[in-house]
Structure 1
Amino acid sequence: MYNLGTGKTVGTWIFFYMLMLQRTYSFSGFIKEPLDENQAEGDLTYFNCIVRGLDETQYVSWLHNGHKISKNGEIIMNAYAHYSIEFDSAFGSYNLRIQNVQRRDKGGYTCTVYDSNDQIVEKSRTANFTVLEIPQQQYPICSSTKTSYHVGQSVVLNCISERTTPPASLTWKQSVGGTESGLKESLTGNYENSYSFIAKQSDNRAIFTCVLTTSANPSLYRNCSIGPLDVLYAPTVRIEQTRDVILGNEAIFICYSDANPQESSFKWSFDPPVTENMFVLENDIILRIKNTLSSLNGTSVICKVTNSIGSGSSKLIVNVKSKVYINNVVETNNGKETKKSEKINERNEMKPKNQNSNSNQQLLQTPSPNNNHSRSTDISISLVVIIALGCIVVILGLALIPVGYMKYTRRQPSDTISRGRPVSIPDVYFEPRDHIDPMLPQLGLAAPWMRTVGVQVPGECEYDATYNTQVMPQPRQVYYTQRMYPASSL
């Protein structure tokens, strides 16, 4: 029971009780609560929280999946070092900022108000954060079930991606004729897309590529490749001859082969058989018949090539052609000889006579090609002569320009008078003139006698020095003083 002995004790208890009630219920609510978010790995995201009427004994913390990760404006857990709080106590904002989003950041986020005893006063709604996962850097991974295949065998190529949310897309860039399995879960828990086809000879050394994309980051594009694919097959053979087989000449046959693995042997044969001294082999690939006989006509030449997978062969029938001389030029015509001149004579005899007469009239009316040729030759020679004369005139004109310039601009010689030719008057000249300053009667002094001499020089005039002669020598300063010249002129 409480001791109510004095009114002072009761009043103190009532005061503290009312103070606790005021502090407990000073928080008035959330102005803004966090909303659900989804963001790709490596990006940036925010969760907003604004409170109103927060008491000084209360504080705000963020909870991630029920665990307290902050207090007011500080992150209190080392595992959340990439988190930060944008804290403004005056405005009541406690926004959570997550930089470089990671997969473990997914889950629920709650803005919570605590009292001084770390008791929860109020919680905001829980915002669900979905992290859009991106496959790790090593994906996609391409693989095949075998290292090599025979022609006709089934080939299965696998493209593997990490299991993510959302799932990545895997697409094969392949040749026509294969089948994709589509995206499915593999035995290891990842996603895979298989591509299968029947091996053909054309698939040897082919390269197959798988491309990875994801909706979490549309700009992401990765790929992996398998190849060159090793497809084993028996040799495919063909024989080619370098030129026509002519009677008495050399005949050359070449055996071409395409095989994987490499050919192990080449074997030549004839049907019907021929003696060995009639042909020569070079590197087992080239067959030479030095002297072709008529008996080889219709003979089959066979080349058989073998490797570790099997054998392949090709056959060529020899067609021997004889030599034909036409106007001293050898031609072949399957063993028959004719002359070109005889054929031409036969064609001329078959022409009607009227056609020949018409052609003769046309020849008479039509200028002969020789006349046209000579006329064109005369025109070309005349044109060359005219061009040559024009060039000579231009060159002479250019050569006479400096000669004329020197003739009309040079100076006349100084001894022209002695030679009896008139002397040209210069454009600028001076006449010599003597003069004496007037006497000054009041001073009784004689003025100096002075002479000016002008000389014509090329381009400019030069003046000789002025010669002064005084009748009565006296200092120059005294003379000008007596003539009452101002002192400033001295």
Structure 2
Amino acid sequence: MYTLGFRTTVGTWIFCYILMLHRTYSFSRFIKEPLDENQAEGDLTYFNCIVRELDETQYVSWLHNGRKISKNGVIIINTYAHYSIDYDSTFGKCNLKIQNIKRSDKGEFVCTVFENNNKIVEKSRTANFTVLEIPQQQYPICTSTQTSYHVGQSVVLDCISENTNPPSILTWKHSIVGGTESGLKESLTGNFEKSYSFTAKQSDNRAIFTCELTTSANPSLYRNCSIGPLDVLYRPVVRIEQTSDVILGNEAIFICYSDANPQETTFEWSFDPPISENMFVLENYIILRIKNTINSLNGTSVICKVTNSIGSGSNKLIVNVKSKEPINNVVEPNNGKETKKSEKINERNKNKSNNQNSNSNQQLLQTRSPNNSSTDISISLVVIIALVCIIVILGLALIPVGYMKYTRRQPSDTISRGRPVSIPDVYFEPRDHIDPMLPQLGLAAPWTRTVGVQVPGECEYDATYNTQVMPQPRQVYYTQRMYPASSL
């Protein structure tokens, strides 16, 4: 019994060992497994998977959130067209690449070994993929509760962004003082929003408010939206200005300026105490002219009242009439001594003035003389420069004329008179020959060459060649052919 039990135990251990060897031989382990990844929308990412020694009946697939999306190196689901697999069966490589990441790509990825019967043999570790979401293109959106506001009314501006992970960063930019910016909160529609509130003032009219959007998912991303110019309604703010001091007997001009939103509708002038209507004139209801200023206007209040659809505003200016300044000082009569002294002083002043005039005339003469010489020099200099310029221009103009004159060539088929040259039908060819021996002289004849000249038949004969050839003695003939006298 003991021996049989021992044999049974040993057999069991051997069977288990063989089974383990078979399993180890058919599939060992994952050499590289996928890791957790965080990546922004639109980017790309990789998940690595390397498996050692796969059996022929086994293959590698990727699971996304428990769904098989590939088999070996092929993506088997159309909705995952932006996925691709770097597959090499020799090295057991099956790396997953995701391009143009979408929000739907987030989740769990597992590299899995299957057998032919779709039985899972082994899985890699689970890799969690977090997609950093970026707000869609239409965000941010700026809104306001009203199109226009009255002075003193509360204004609330909202900046809305999509609810993303990570949340967007919203910041209000403006030039006003005294507003309050709320924190980021979730709206009823599920989006994120950030509000800015303040009390409308006259100085806030035409102001522009900008909301900037950034995100940690993509630091280079920057978008904005704006509200404005803000329409703040207020009654007219009036001021009166006068063009100059009010002088007794002169014309006085007053101008009424107004700042209002909406535009002014009426301008009204009044006086306290009232004055006659014949004393002033209105131009375009904005300018007031008082024709002749009198003493009774001193201390009068000039009032301008302006009205628009919101209300009325007014301002006043108190007239301060000034007397005219005397043109000549009136001198009271003095006694005889004072008059004599004054006469002497006047004579002295006249002499001083005459001396000063003579000195000034001399200085003027002295200062004018160099000016005259300088003007003469400048005129002569201008004339010289003008002549040089004319000469240079003429020289430049003659260069192309001379070039064309000395480089111009007549065509080969025309003569100087411009008539075409006819081509003759007969051509002469040069022929070399030796004259026969002259028995009378017993000398060999010289070598001669006959040359024919081609000329048009209609050309005129030149007087140089229109000569008669006179018969010559034989001795003269050979003498002209450079025979020595002894040979003759």
Structure 1 counterpart SS, 2:26: coil
Structure 2 counterpart SS, 1:42: coil
Q: Could you list the runs of 5+ residues in structure 2 that have no partner in the other structure?
A: 1-17, 333-339, 390-439, 447-463
Aligned counterpart, 2:422:
none
Aligned counterpart, 2:360:
369
Q: Distance in 2 between matches of 1:58 and 1:471?
A: 128
Offset at 1:119?
Answer: 0.4
Aligned counterpart, 2:158:
158
Matched, 1:120 2:120: yes
Post-superposition Cα deviations, 1:170-207, rounded to whole Å, max 9, x if no partner, equal 00111232221122222322211111122110101111
Point out the more displaced range, 142-151 or 68-77.
142-151
Give the direction of change, closer, same or farther, for the CA distance of 1:110–1:341 in structure 2 (3 Å limit): farther
Matched, 1:310 2:311: yes
Point out the more displaced range, 272-281 or 193-202.
272-281
TM-score (norm 1): 0.69
Aligned counterpart, 1:402:
none
The answer to whether the 8 A contact 1:41-1:101 is kept is: yes
Aligned counterpart, 1:339:
328
Offset at 1:262?
Answer: 2.3
Aligned counterpart, 1:38:
38
Aligned counterpart, 1:88:
88
Q: Distance in 1 between matches of 2:63 and 2:388?
A: 106
Q: Distance in 2 between matches of 1:85 and 1:255?
A: 80
Give the direction of change, closer, same or farther, for the CA distance of 1:236–1:112 in structure 2 (3 Å limit): same
Q: Distance in 1 between matches of 2:238 and 2:383?
A: 74
- Matched residue type, 1:112: T
Offset at 1:153?
Answer: 2.1
- Matched residue type, 2:46: Y
Matches within 5 A, 1:8-157: 22=22, 26-157=26-157
Q: Distance in 2 between matches of 1:166 and 1:350?
A: 103
Aligned counterpart, 2:237:
236
Q: Distance in 1 between matches of 2:441 and 2:185?
A: 140
Post-superposition Cα deviations, 1:356-384, rounded to whole Å, max 9, x if no partner, equal 99xx9999899922222212333444555
The answer to whether the 8 A contact 2:62-2:111 is kept is: yes
The answer to whether the 8 A contact 1:446-1:471 is kept is: no
Point out the more displaced range, 201-210 or 236-245.
236-245
The answer to whether the 8 A contact 1:303-1:314 is kept is: yes
Matches within 5 A, 1:239-278: 239-278=240-279
The answer to whether the 8 A contact 2:25-2:53 is kept is: no
Post-superposition Cα deviations, 1:63-102, rounded to whole Å, max 9, x if no partner, equal 0011111111111112211111111111211111111100
Post-superposition Cα deviations, 1:130-184, rounded to whole Å, max 9, x if no partner, equal 1000001111111122222221222211111111111110001112322211222
Structure 2 counterpart SS, 1:374: helix
The answer to whether the 8 A contact 2:235-2:310 is kept is: yes
The answer to whether the 8 A contact 1:23-1:55 is kept is: no
Aligned counterpart, 1:411:
none
Q: Distance in 2 between matches of 1:154 and 1:388?
A: 78
- Matched residue type, 1:88: D
Matches within 5 A, 1:319-398: 319-322=320-323, 332-333=324-325, 337-339=326-328, 368-382=359-373
Matches within 5 A, 1:401-480: 443=442, 471-473=472-474
- Matched residue type, 2:298: N
Q: Distance in 2 between matches of 1:146 and 1:197?
A: 14
Matched, 1:171 2:171: yes
Q: Distance in 1 between matches of 2:117 and 2:263?
A: 85
The answer to whether the 8 A contact 1:144-1:156 is kept is: yes
Matched, 1:298 2:299: yes
Offset at 1:314?
Answer: 0.5
Structure 2 counterpart SS, 1:370: helix
Q: Distance in 1 between matches of 2:263 and 2:388?
A: 82
Q: Distance in 2 between matches of 1:474 and 1:38?
A: 125
Offset at 1:443?
Answer: 4.6
The answer to whether the 8 A contact 1:250-1:288 is kept is: yes
The answer to whether the 8 A contact 1:254-1:285 is kept is: yes
Point out the more displaced range, 224-233 or 262-271.
262-271
The answer to whether the 8 A contact 2:205-2:230 is kept is: yes
Point out the more displaced range, 249-258 or 91-100.
249-258
| Count, aligned residues | 390
The answer to whether the 8 A contact 2:34-2:48 is kept is: yes
The answer to whether the 8 A contact 1:32-1:49 is kept is: yes
Q: Distance in 2 between matches of 1:382 and 1:138?
A: 80
Structure 1 counterpart SS, 2:203: helix
Offset at 1:48?
Answer: 0.8
